[in-house]
Amino acid sequence: MDKKAKGVNTICTHIGELEDKTFKGAISPLYMSTSYDYEDVDIKRYPRYFNTPNQEALCRKIAALEHTEAALIFGSGMAAVSTALLAFLNKGDHLVVPRQIYGGAYNLIVEEFSKYGIEYTFIDGTERTAFENAIQPNTRVLYLETPSNPLLTLTDLEAIGSLARSRGLTTLIDNTFASPVNQNPADYGIDVIIHSATKYMGGHSDICAGAVAGSHTHIDRIFQLAKNLGGSLSDYTVWLLERSLKTMGIRVRAQNENALKLANFLEQHPDIHKVYYPGLQSHPNHQIAKAQMHGFGGMLSFELSEAVDQHTFMRSLKWIKVSMSLAGVESTLLAPSKTSHALLSPEERLKTGIRDGLIRFSTGIEDFEDLKADLTQALVQSKTISKETVT
């Protein structure tokens, strides 16, 4: 069966369904057993072997969504990131990784890798030359994350994929921000695709899970470590995640549409200094976005002008919530200088391009006009220099 020929919404709805043979119900039954008979079966089923009926079914859906042969589901995005990285890195091996990756992945590397004798180089910038210059004789893995957090910088997947192939290296990507609806890195020769399913795959801010997708060979290598580390997901949450994925295509497309409209609206707004969104002509990586993304995503960032008080702005919003996480059906925002990047000094933040007035915005599925009205009124409320005082 050619899975690529199927539309994303059909994959979301149908691939990997379990048939209810007993009652002929419309949806996958949930099998909560942690114990299965071991005679007359090829495989011994057990949740931590990642092979319960619901786990296997959901893996088929995720593999189909990412255009790969296989997938595995984990108890969190970081369980997926850590298991995937450690599966391909042995003692004495070297990893090349951009500095601007998800904070949890960054901490994993700087806090744990020296214990295992794994070397790494953090690179600034994500062009092919930046990766190439950092490759050493013991380099085994190139790690990428595109679009990046919070400035939505893109990495050229084709360029890094071909660089890795020419040097015999394995490529791992954190594809969380794009979701499988907007970007399929396997089509560009990237080996292992990682998701925090807590984000767009779950999509309702109520599931913590992770996933990896890749070839049978790559996924089997990750599995061999995964069963020892033990980061599997409970079958009840697996079943909930399957339900969430059924609407991922329509959710993410609605979020793409809202985000593009919001980016255009904010870019024109006099109280907004700058907007970062791959779908804007003004984004430095817009051409890369058009080449490798099916949609520009639901994440954007913007800088408030100096005339706007950031705290008042965030607290004046009526629908849009202040929230640490992202990718739910509700629009949320946060200030990176107060959250993900709070531990950096103002100078260090500035070096990474994160100004104090920066807001990271996760677009929901609300009606655009309501989001626009909410942002407009909050900008009026939070002007430090009101028009009256100026005149």
Q: Which residues bind ligand PLP (CB under 6 A)?
A: 76-78, 81, 102, 104, 149, 174, 176-177, 196, 198-199, 208, 210
Write the secondary structure of the chain as one string of H (helix), E (strand) and C (coil).
CCHHHCCHHHHHHHCCCCCCCCCCCCCCCCCCCCCCCCCCCCCCCCHHHCCCHHHHHHHHHHHHHCCCCEEEEECCHHHHHHHHHHHHCCCCCEEEEECCCCHHHHHHHHHHHHHHCCEEEEECCCCHHHHHHHCCCCEEEEEEECCCCCCCCCCCHHHHHHHHHHHCCEEEEECCCCHHHHCCHHHHCCCEEEEECCCCCCCCCCCCCEEEEECHHHHHHHHHHHHHHCCCCCHHHHHHHHHHHHCHHHHHHHHHHHHHHHHHHHHHCCCEEEEECCCCCCCCCHHHHHHHCCCCCCEEEEEECCCECHHHHHHHCCCCEECCCCCCCCCEEECHHHCCCCCCCHHHHHHCCCCCCEEEEECCCCCHHHHHHHHHHHHHHCECCCHHHHC
Q: What tokens appear for 177 in the block?
A: 């921000």
State in angstroms the smallest separation of the CB of 36 from ligand PLP.
Answer: 28
Nearer to ligand PLP, 177 or 239 (CB): 177
State in angstroms the smallest separation of the CB of 74 from ligand PLP.
Answer: 8
Residue type, 318: K
The reply to whether omega before 150 is within 30° of 0 (cis) is: yes
Nearer to ligand PLP, 78 or 314 (CB): 78
Catalytic residue among 93, 156, 174, 235: 174
Nearer to ligand PLP, 51 or 196 (CB): 196
Active site residue 199: yes
Active site residue 355: no
Nearer to ligand PLP, 174 or 242 (CB): 174
Catalytic residue among 102, 120, 188, 200: 102
Nearer to ligand PLP, 199 or 349 (CB): 199
State in angstroms the smallest separation of the CB of 73 from ligand PLP.
Answer: 12
Nearer to ligand PLP, 177 or 302 (CB): 177
Catalytic residue among 48, 128, 321, 383: 48
State in angstroms the smallest separation of the CB of 148 from ligand PLP.
Answer: 8
* Residues whose CB falls within 8 Å of the CB of residue 235, separated by 6 or more in sequence, listed in order: 30, 31, 32, 47, 52, 54, 55
Nearer to ligand PLP, 77 or 278 (CB): 77
Active site residue 48: yes
Nearer to ligand PLP, 177 or 361 (CB): 177
Catalytic residue among 61, 140, 199, 253: 199
State in angstroms the smallest separation of the CB of 197 from ligand PLP.
Answer: 7
Residues β-bridged to residue 304: 272
Q: Are 217 and 180 in contact (CB under 8 A)?
A: no
State in angstroms the smallest separation of the CB of 104 from ligand PLP.
Answer: 5
State in angstroms the smallest separation of the CB of 194 from ligand PLP.
Answer: 7
In the bound state, the residue with its beta carbon closest to ligand PLP is 77
Q: What tokens appear for 28 in the block?
A: 């996958």
* Residue keyed to tokens 């070297």: 94
Cα dihedral 333→156→119→132 (10° resolution): -150
State in angstroms the smallest separation of the CB of 75 from ligand PLP.
Answer: 8
CA distance 371 to 320: 7
So which residues are the catalytic ones? 48, 102, 174, 199
